[in-house]
Structure 1
Amino acid sequence: MFIKYLIVIYILFLLIVNCSNPTSGSSSINKEQDSTLYFILGIIDDYMGRFIVENGLRVESFYPAETTTSIIFQEYINKLIEENNIKDTLIKEVIQSGHIEFNSRKVTEYINNCYVYDLESSSMLWLNEESIYVPAVRSHALKPEITNNVDNIEKLAFLKGLYIRNNLGSDGNCDSTYCISFVNSVYRYSMAEEYLLSFNCTDLSVEDSPPDAVPFNRILYFKPSEVIDSLFKNAKQLYEQYDSLPK
């Protein structure tokens, strides 16, 4: 157990060293020690579930106040493209409302393949970018092969992505360093709770908005272990470095 703990601390040390300068080179992310996919699954929104459209184009969208989070997300998606030799380019678009959208059919397909869904049995239709109605569905779960046998590196990556979006970039929903906000969340809350407990976090508690509130918000509070405290300090350092860059 002690050896496993030292390994996790070493992983966090590599993460901290590697994010010391986000402007140098093509990526500031350690390709050997950080699980790109699990970071993305942590940072990606699950408001009412993952919205999946047949032959969908949109990878993810962010509110105008989430500009810094969107920049970090873009870097990780480009890393995912490179690592998996995805033959497509990520297109960023700021629409009239100020929302930031990222589009790529092949990246969207890659990420959607992590989720449980069935377009054939869905009664929902969505007007796509070509003005054609196509099947759509909201997935409420990741596939078992994604959630089963998750190793510590993957858990840390997931929690790091989640913390960046749902604490550091949550526009005031969290009132503490050691809390994570879940707005109409479907699956990420249970994963976060499980992973925090697996790293020996304590005093977990929840604060829910009133049952009739729209949207419904659940805030998870916790006392971090040394490993998680180091991880979230690293995440904050990364966020602040990108936040200081010209937008």
Structure 2
Amino acid sequence: DRIEEADVYVQTERLLDRPSSPLYIPQVTGRDTATQIEEGDLFNFDIEVKPIAEVLVGKTSEQALVEIAEEEEITRIREQHRKYEELRNSELIELQRFEEQERRLRTEKERRTKQAEEAHRQEQELAEKMAARAFTRAYLQDLVPSVFHNLRENGFFYDPVEHETESTFMPWLMDRTMTHVNKLVIGRSLLDSTIRDVVNQRIDQYQRIDESHRQVNHSSKRRSTTRENSVHGSEKSQQQRKSTSGELRETPEDNRDETNTDTS
């Protein structure tokens, strides 16, 4: 489905300018009348004008006198103003002279103050420079030797022979010495272990001998107790005891001699 369409044109009416409004004329009221004045009806000019002329002349003269007085006053005022201007100018000149003098004094004071400050600053700088120079001299007095000492300690300055000795010969010598010392230590440890074994063996032998002697003494004591009633048995037991004690005395001395011989 299609919507129906149509074109329509409309033209407005032409507007006309508004006409100008007519001049307003108010409505006349009342009646118009007229009168006639003859010569001499109102006043006589010669008689009436005299006081007016006198007043005008008097006012004019008075005004002229006032103007003359004003001019004279203006002249006096101008003269006073001129004198005042001259006095003011002279005072201004004097003031300018004083100001210039004050400015010169102030400038001179500032210049002297700056000179004094500059002199004080230069003296202070000179004192600081002298103090810094003294401190630097005192500081550098030990600095150069310490620097050379540190450089020498750090190996920057060295003797070639000493350096070669310390870097090559001394390590080789220390290695050979340590090798020899290690060999001596090993030999001494082996010798100590051998001596220790021999001493332990001797101690074991002495302990066995001591046990055998104790057994002999114990058996002799038993024999002496069983033969207390017989005199012959007692004498024989005493002889055996003496012989046994003599053997015991000889045996420890022999053992001591053997021990000293082995230890040496």
More helix per residue: 2
Higher relative contact order (CA 8 A, sep 6+): 1
Q: If each structure's strand is expressed as a fraction of its own residues, which one has the higher value?
A: 1
When Rg is computed on C-alpha atoms for both structures, the one with the higher figure is 2
TM-score between both structures, scaled by the size of structure 2:
0.14
TM-score of the superposed pair, with normalisation by structure 1? 0.15
